[in-house]
Amino acid sequence: MVKATKGSESDDLKRRQAERRAQRMAKQRREHSPEPPTLAEIKAKLEEEKQRLTTEPPTLTEVKVFPVIKFRGELRPSQTDVAKIAREQIEAGEKQLYIVAPPGSGKTVTGLYLWAEVIRQPALVLSPNTAIQSQWAARTDLFTTEGGEIPVHWISTDPEQPALLTSLTYQSVTLPTRGDDTLDSVAIMCWMDNLLVGEKQLANTPEEAQVWIKSLQENNPDYYNERLAFYRKKMRDDISLGGDTLKVLHTSALRALERLRNNQVGLVILDECHHLMGHWGRVLAAVNEYLGNPIVLGLTATPPDTKKAGPTDVRRYMEYFGPVDYEVPVPAVVKDGFLAPYQDLAYLVRPLGDELEFIADASKALDELVEELCNPPRGDDGLPVREGLIEFTMRILSTRDFIMGKAGSWDEFEKRASKFAISSRLFLMDRGELLPADVPGLIVEVELAADQAYWLDPLHRVGPTLSWYCRHGLRRSEEKADHELADKAISRLRLLGTQITETGTMSCASPVSRILAYSRAKAQALIPILTSEKESLGDTLRAVVICDYERTSAVTAELSHLLDDEAGGAIAAFRELLTNEETDKLDPVLLTGSTVLVDDDLKPNFETAARHWLASNKYSVDFDWDEKAGFYMLQGKGGDWCPRVYVEMITELFQMGVTRCLVGTRGLLGEGWDANKINVLIDLTCVTTSMSINQLRGRSFRLDPDVPDKIANNWDVICIAPEFKKGLDDYKRFLKKHKHLYGVTDDGAIEKGEGHVHAAFTEIKPEGVEENMVDINRNMLERVGQRDDFRNLWRIGEPYNPTPVKAVEIRAGRDPKAVTDLSPFPPFLSPGSREPWTDGTLTLAIGRAIIGAFGESGMLGTLNYHEMQKIIHSAERAGGYVRVFLEDSDEATNAMFADAMAEVFGPVVNARYVIQREADFQYEGSRFANTWVTRRLPRFVSDYIVKKSMETMYRREVVRVHAVPRELARNKKRASKFEEQWNIHVSPGNIWYYQTDGTKSMMKEAVEKGWLPYDIVRQKEVFL
């Protein structure tokens, strides 16, 4: 037996004393703090409260006949359409109405009209903030009753006194319980469970977990309250997602709902309903039955982004509102004269020197990596130390090896590894390698044409091949050096936004993309843009620059030398404006949720105007000015100084022209903020969702009563470096922004997508931007001074089709392998009447062939196809584009025609039938050339005869192979009808069935001779 030392005895004594002390403390806690109720007790209490709420009969107010209420004014066309749809749906027993309409289109009046004259039942209006809540009550002054003005007591904004129309905030009826003993107990139990499980287990027993939490409450109350709030929210979400939403509501919300139920609400109007994807939506969906299933009217300018919500919330939202019943496009409201017209502009910039160097290095690093992977070093035996990337790719393709097994055929391999099957062949072809003998070749122009934009991206092109090599080659190697090489490759790819995972690749945050998004060159672009706008508008200029943040969020270590904490933020933009004499004259002001910065030149005038405004609105505020380099930081003192007050104050000063340029963040200057004098909006944000973009753009659409001919310029600034990998990431953000935006084009059509900004902007890249960037920017700045011309293009007040028309835009392209530069002629007209094809006449002829084939195939019903051939609209646009669509046609026929036109001019991929197009080429020749005259007569004689007999001659050539449109290629009978019409309107030519050996041989010749379509084809929606 080992004798205990004095030191060990002392340690044991201390340990026993600590245990007894802990036991006494636990006993005292139990005596003074009762044990939390069990989960069963908590559920019973919640069920009892829910039972009382849902089963007690409502104390109904006296039922009265709904009074006669009429709208004073005249409804706009879109409002009339909504009212008509509402009447039809209500008569059919529907109880859901979902309307999408832009800011300024009259959503409030529409909702009130439906309440007063269509649905005619007590209504509850819910809004996201008190400003919109008050607006609903105020707009009732546009309505009258039989006795004149609507009585005040018919309208309420008080949850304790519901009326005929009760306007409240969402918070008033969805407020969750806070500090409630029951919810806190459930939250603490959830917290305890989290401490008892997981890798970082902090407690072994529930008692230990309780002691841990209690000690935090006593010793670190801030952290305790933060974590308790976290678990409260988690439990509220869990309960509401489980269908027990009413259990988590605050008493005040429950009582408000009871009073509304007693008031027999028959209509619930939900304004800005895109907010209802979370807690608010869960509550209101659950409350609907409790209120007696009233009619639900959802109103929003911006449907929510369903990609960022959970599937349960998305499903609930869709079920609650149903599909959109009517969407009021911005162009329709502009055409009616109720929103200001606008033009979308873009300014292109290049990254600055050090930024461009980083991007170039990242791109070069990938190229060097690929070379390193392809050329492994050799060992002492003279052999490569590992299997190189090329040899690995060849082996995988030859053996069709999935590592865990092999595919029985190429079709099976391609199906199971589709991206690798393409990427690996592209990789080998790009490096000039021959494909293994049993691997099918890849006709890029045909097989990849449908996904051209994707496979032209260098990272998409090589990414799957590198991923397979790293995952299945290097990582599975026995050599540590190979593992390190895999890590190096993964790190290099991550710089460019590609993450290799266990199963493949996925996108990730890219430092290169971040540099482009927040390049300092973007702030510098404000100078030429605002200088041009100032020259055009003078004192009437009201510009708003919107950024994502006041300062940029955390910058990674690899970018810290390029992007400081102000890069890309509102402060950086504000500082840039002060560096130029012309933009400094605009007296810029920065306005965010926490900061107000004022140009130093402006301080005296600003302070005078601000004090006057504060006094007029009975606010008591003292100013504290902190002088900086070129500007002042303003801080207010006094209980009245808060963001709501100073935002309202500075907005009014902006409206007055005290400052002509505001710089702010999208969080502050987004939804709910209004300044109708904005005529220039510069978007420096990275947001791309339809909801956020519509909110931002909606700021400039408001009509200005003082400027009846207002037209707003909405600018994007795009940073590009197309010669480098990821160098078009910022351009891709621009494409996403404009995906759902309409704008006026140079031919007066209202077009959806990036093409309305400039014809050179396509979904792949800005065409010719490397050579024409300066010209594009010059064109954009010139358009600043062409406001009147672009306003006229909107043709405000003229008749128009309120439904967007599907159109096709085509720009003729030419395969570099095609050697003919002569202008082609239609191949069947008499020589005396010949005019060469133009892009417009050729497009029109093909359109007539398609309509003729539709008609001969019985696909147009009772429509006369000869008459329909006359309504094909074909217009040539700047930049070599031709726009084509059917005028005055039904939606289905127009869509079928547009699809067919796109397929004829588009890639010949997966086509069932193809057809050749021939053309005649004009040249000067002699009938005696290459005859006995030139072969037998003396040279001077034959030359004279040939020269004297020169005449205009024609030779016929195949110039293109086109796909037969899918709808006409469903069977040979339809395809033959297309052939007949093609021969009448376009060219002699026979249809070829794609699967025959003869067709495959012809297609190979087509690739070699450049007969495949190289046209740029875009399908768009346009207003006419």
Q: What is the pLDDT of residue 594?
A: 81
**151 in helix, strand or coil?**
coil
pLDDT band at 34 (very low <50, low <70, confident <90, very high): very low
Q: Judge whether residue 617 has pLDDT over 50.
A: yes
Q: What is the pLDDT of residue 56?
A: 58
pLDDT band at 619 (very low <50, low <70, confident <90, very high): very high
Q: Mean pLDDT lowest for which of 110-119, 563-572, 773-782?
A: 563-572
Domain that holds residue 927: 805-1023
Q: Mean pLDDT lowest for which of 209-223, 286-300, 791-805?
A: 209-223
Q: How many Cβ atoms from other residues are within 10 Å of residue 25's Cβ?
A: 13
pLDDT band at 228 (very low <50, low <70, confident <90, very high): confident
Q: How many domains does the chain have?
A: 5
Residue 24 inside a domain? The answer is: no
How many Cα atoms are found within 13 Å in the side-chain-facing hemisphere of 897?
A: 35
pLDDT band at 103 (very low <50, low <70, confident <90, very high): confident
Q: CA-to-CA distance for 964 and 909, rounded, in angstroms?
A: 11
Over the stretch 629-659, which tens digit does the pLDDT of each residue have?
999 999 998 888 888 889 899 999 999 999 9
- Give the phi and the psi of residue 248 in degrees, each rounded to 5: -100, 10
State which of 603, 635, 655 marks the end of a domain: 655
Over the stretch 556-579, which tens digit does the pLDDT of each residue have?
555 555 555 566 689 999 999 999
CATH number reported for the structural domain that contains residue 724 in this entry: 3.40.50
Q: What is the pLDDT of residue 118?
A: 95
State which of 625, 655, 685 marks the end of a domain: 655
Q: How many Cβ atoms from other residues are within 10 Å of residue 52's Cβ?
A: 10
Q: Of 47-61, 253-267, 610-624, which one has max mean pLDDT?
A: 610-624
pLDDT band at 29 (very low <50, low <70, confident <90, very high): very low
Q: How many Cβ atoms from other residues are within 10 Å of residue 932's Cβ?
A: 9
Residues 97 and 136 in one domain: yes
Q: Judge whether residue 3 has pLDDT over 60.
A: no
Please compute the mean of the pLDDT values over residues 817-827 and round it to a whole number. 58
Alpha-carbon dihedral angle through residues 699, 701, 705, 708, given to the nearest 10 degrees: 150
Over the stretch 424-433, which tens digit does the pLDDT of each residue have?
998 998 888 8
pLDDT band at 343 (very low <50, low <70, confident <90, very high): very high
Residue 210 inside a domain? The answer is: no
Q: Of 535-539, 546-550, 728-732, 809-813, which one has max mean pLDDT?
A: 535-539
Residues 741 and 626 in one domain: no
Q: Judge whether residue 415 has pLDDT over 90.
A: no
- Greatest CA separation for the chain: 134
State which of 508, 538, 567 marks the end of a domain: 508
Q: Judge whether residue 933 has pLDDT over 90.
A: no
Residue 142 inside a domain? The answer is: yes
Q: What is the pLDDT of residue 868?
A: 84
CATH number reported for the structural domain that contains residue 161 in this entry: 3.40.50.300
**125 in helix, strand or coil?**
strand
Residues 762 and 857 in one domain: no
Residues 696 and 833 in one domain: no
Identify residue 359 by its one-letter amino acid code: I
Residues in a beta bridge with 870:
none
Residues 715 and 861 in one domain: no
Q: CA-to-CA distance for 105 and 116, rounded, in angstroms?
A: 19
Question: Which DSSP symbol is given to 107?
Answer: H
Residues 318 and 438 in one domain: no
Q: CA-to-CA distance for 600 and 355, rounded, in angstroms?
A: 31
**837 in helix, strand or coil?**
coil
Residue 404 inside a domain? The answer is: yes
Question: Which DSSP symbol is given to 118?
Answer: I
Structural tokens at position 728: 């078009």
Residues 809 and 789 in one domain: no
Contacts 24+ apart (CB under 8 A), 761-764: 761/346, 761/734, 761/735, 762/1016, 762/1018, 763/453, 763/735, 763/1018, 764/452, 764/453, 764/456
Q: Judge whether residue 99 has pLDDT over 90.
A: yes
Q: What is the pLDDT of residue 923?
A: 73
In percent, how much of the chain has pLDDT > 70? 81
The helix-helix angle for 279-290 and 251-262 (nearest 10°) equals 40
Which residue has tokens 């009429």?
A: 70
Q: Judge whether residue 238 has pLDDT over 70.
A: no
**513 in helix, strand or coil?**
helix
Residue 55 inside a domain? The answer is: no
Residues 861 and 912 in one domain: yes
Contacts of 913 (CB under 8 A, 6+ apart): 963, 964, 969, 975, 991, 992, 993, 994
User: Bigger pLDDT: 777 or 290?
Assistant: 777
Q: What is the pLDDT of residue 59?
A: 52
pTM for the full model? Answer: 0.72
Residues 152 and 95 in one domain: yes
Over the stretch 947-994, which tens digit does the pLDDT of each residue have?
887 877 778 888 899 999 999 999 999 999 999 999 999 989 889 888
How would you classify the pairing of strands 505-507 and 661-665?
Answer: unpaired
Residues 735 and 628 in one domain: no
Over the stretch 700-710, which tens digit does the pLDDT of each residue have?
888 999 999 99
Residues 304 and 270 in one domain: yes
Please compute the mean of the pLDDT values over residues 857-879 and round it to a whole number. 81
Residues 817 and 786 in one domain: no
Residue 122 inside a domain? The answer is: yes
Q: Mean pLDDT lowest for which of 369-378, 582-591, 610-619?
A: 369-378
Residue 760 inside a domain? The answer is: yes
Q: What is the pLDDT of residue 444?
A: 66
Q: Judge whether residue 47 has pLDDT over 70.
A: no
Please, are residues 911 and 969 in contact by the beta-carbon 8 Å criterion?
A: yes
Residue 886 inside a domain? The answer is: yes
